[in-house]
Amino acid sequence: MADRVHPHDSPSPTVSQIDSSDAAVAPKPSLPPDGKPVPPPGTYVIKIPKDQIYRVPPPENARRFAKYTDKKSKRSYGGGGRRRCSFCCCFSWFIGVLFIIALLIGIAAGVLYLVFKPKSPHYSIDHIGIKAMNLTTAVISPEFNITVKADNPNDKIGIRYETDSSAEIFFKGVKLCDGALPAFYQPPKNITVFMTPLKGNGIKLKSEDEKALVDAQTKRQVPLNVKLVAPVKIKVGSVESWKITVKIDCDVTVDQLTVQSKILSKKCNYKLDLWLFKI
């Protein structure tokens, strides 16, 4: 290694003539306590040979470098592990809260079921009257009057039928007419019978559908499909539930397409859309 290079010594201070009779000499710097002289201020240049400049740790420091990097990698892995652990804990806590909420809802539903003992309502089609069914033309505008019976067998639960309902009648997938159901409140232990007018306007029948309808009329067995959709609310005392959709699907066979038609057979199914659940 090269020797240290010191700057040139500064020139010694000169004595200034202040007066012809008096002269002031600059004081000498004091020595430190250890007695060694303090080098004057300046710039130091250190030269290192190129063969001693390393881009990788020298052999004597390689073990220390490897040990340091290993500790650093372990610390980083440990931080990731803690983050994964924190995520797992939060997820477990969330699942636990959902389980507790579901358990409380189940307990409340069980208590309500034991207290009120709810029963499913029953629906049926009692009569279908048909007018203006002219099968001599390919375009028809029939009018139907259907009589629906709704039976609420519950002792403490009322049913409020809301607006925005619908009623449709089909023959082999062809819609013949449509309309809406009336809005009303049905108290507990009550049977309500109501009539709903339905009308079709400019229904175009295909040749095969027209022929099938005439043949069914001739055989006095006309199969019809009645679809009813009614939004309802369950009422217990002064408390009403959210809106529930009742869907009724009835297969009805009548003997003729007139006002005096009689129902030969009928079968009705229904289901409830309870928010996210369906029954």
Q: Report the distance separating Cα 72 and Cα 89, nearest Å.
A: 26
C-alpha distances in angstroms, 251 versus 38, 130, 256? Answer: 116, 16, 15
Return averaged pLDDT per consecutive 10 residues of the chain, 279 residues in all.
47 45 49 57 64 60 68 53 63 80 77 65 93 85 94 91 94 94 94 95 89 92 95 87 91 93 92 58
DSSP state of 128: E
- End-to-end Cα spacing for the chain: 92
What is the structure's pLDDT at 88? 73
Q: What is the pTM of this model?
A: 0.59
Dihedral angle sign, alpha carbons of residues 61, 66, 72, 75: negative
Measured torsion, CA atoms of residues 230, 233, 236, 237, in degrees rounded to the nearest 10: -110
What is the structure's pLDDT at 46? 66
What is the structure's pLDDT at 75? 53
pLDDT one-digit tens code per residue, 185-232: 999 999 999 999 999 998 988 889 889 999 999 999 999 999 999 999
Are residues 213 and 135 in contact, defined by beta-carbon separation less than 8 angstroms? yes
Residue among 149, 106, 109, 151 nearest 127 (CA): 149
Residue partners of 161: CB distance under 8 A and separation at least 6 = 181, 182, 183, 184, 185, 186, 230, 231, 232
Long-range contacts of 235-238 (CB under 8 A, 24+ apart): 235/157, 235/158, 235/159, 235/160, 235/185, 236/116, 236/156, 236/157, 236/158, 237/156
Q: Hunting for tokens 């029953």 — which residue is that?
A: 122
Dihedral angle sign, alpha carbons of residues 221, 225, 230, 236: positive
What is the structure's pLDDT at 117? 65
Q: Is 140 exposed, middle or buried (0-12, 13-18, 19+ CB in 10 A)?
A: buried
What is the structure's pLDDT at 151? 94
Are residues 248 and 268 in contact, defined by beta-carbon separation less than 8 angstroms? yes
How many residues would you count in the chain? 279
Coil, strand or helix at 99: helix
What is the structure's pLDDT at 53? 59
What is the structure's pLDDT at 277? 40
Residue type, 246: V
Q: Is 250 exposed, middle or buried (0-12, 13-18, 19+ CB in 10 A)?
A: buried
What is the structure's pLDDT at 73? 55
Q: Report the distance separating Cα 230 and Cα 19, nearest Å.
A: 124
CA atoms within 13 A on the CB side of 244: 17
